[in-house]
Amino acid sequence: MSVVAVVAIGTPDGEALASVEAAVATAFGREVRRLDPLPEPPRALDAARGQWNAPEMLKALLAARPAFAERILGVTGRDLFIPVLSFVFGQAQMEGPTAVISLARLSQAFSGLPEDRPLLLQRARKEALHELGHTFGLVHCPDAACPMSLSTGVVQVDRKGEAFCASCAALVRERTPVAPPPEGRTR
């Protein structure tokens, strides 16, 4: 069951989804399958804050996870928060099956700058690896160039590379089940 499902929550950004899927498949060595978009869970909206509650998004993803998927990653255009913090770029269940990323603050337009699509896609890929990394039990990495390093702003996101550092890569490998032998090899 080495499949990661990727799903849009609300209106899909097809280009961002495709970009994220390719990065996830390479970094985790898993098959990636796109699911039909999920409606935005109404409970997740905090009208007073004008933001969306990330743990509620995770609950909706957990309910939508198909049996074949060991992990499910949601991608939303909404600005996410957790109750104690003013915002988050994404959220994941530590060593659990669900993760979500928000494209809202990764976009240059959020800061009033002209939109830069390639930069947005690059940031989305890094945050997708980061949040999925948590689902594999990885914690924040002190190496600022590793996608697992903590970002509290886009400057830090841009400082990160798109490949895990040696340590985090070894941990991902450790948690990757041995692939079955190719067909015919057992004869």
Partner 1 sequence: MRATWRILVIDDEAVMRESLAAWLREDGYEVDTAASGREGIDRARETDYAIYFVDLKMPGGIDGIETMMEVKKLRADASIVIITAYATVDTAITAMKEGALEYIVKPCNPQEISLLVTRIIKVRKLQRENEILRRRLSGRWHFQDLISKSPRMQEVFGLVKDVASLRSTVLITGESGTGKELIARALHFSGERAERPFVGVSCAALTESLLESELFGYEKGAFTGAAERRKGKFEQATGGTIFLDEIGDIAPKVQVDLLRVLQERRFFRVGGSEEVSVDVRVVAATHVDLVEAVRTERFRDDLYYRLNVVAIHLPPLRERPEDIPLLARSFLERLSHELGKEAEDLSEGALKALLGHRWPGNVRELENAVERALVTAKGRILTEEDFAFLRPVSEAAPGWTVPTHLPLADVEKTVIAATLRRNEGNVKETAAVLGIDRSTLYDKLKKYAIER
Return d(Cα 172, Cα 79) in angstroms, integer: 29
CA distances from 16 to 61, 94, 171, 174, 175 (A): 18, 24, 26, 28, 27
Given the residues 115, 131, 162, 183, the one annotated as active site: 131
Distance of closest approach, residue 177 Cβ to partner 1, in angstroms: 12
- Cβ distance to partner 1 smaller for residue 86 or 186: 86
- In the set 67, 84, 178, 179, which binds partner 1 (CB under 8 A)? 84
- In the set 8, 23, 27, 88, which binds partner 1 (CB under 8 A)? 88
The first and second tokens of residue 178, run together, are: 């041995």
The yes or no reply on residue 140 touching partner 1 (CB under 8 A) is: yes
Return d(Cα 180, Cα 158) in angstroms, integer: 37
Mask of contacts with partner 1, 150-179, x by CB under 8 A? x-xx-----------xxxx-xx-xx-----
The yes or no reply on residue 62 touching partner 1 (CB under 8 A) is: no
Rounded to 5 degrees, φ, ψ at 185 are -75, -25
If 0-12 CB within 10 Å is exposed, 13-18 middle and 19+ buried, where does residue 69 land? buried
Distance of closest approach, residue 139 Cβ to partner 1, in angstroms: 3
- In the set 12, 35, 87, 161, which binds partner 1 (CB under 8 A)? 87
Told to judge if 174 belongs to the known catalytic residues of this protein, a careful annotator would answer: no
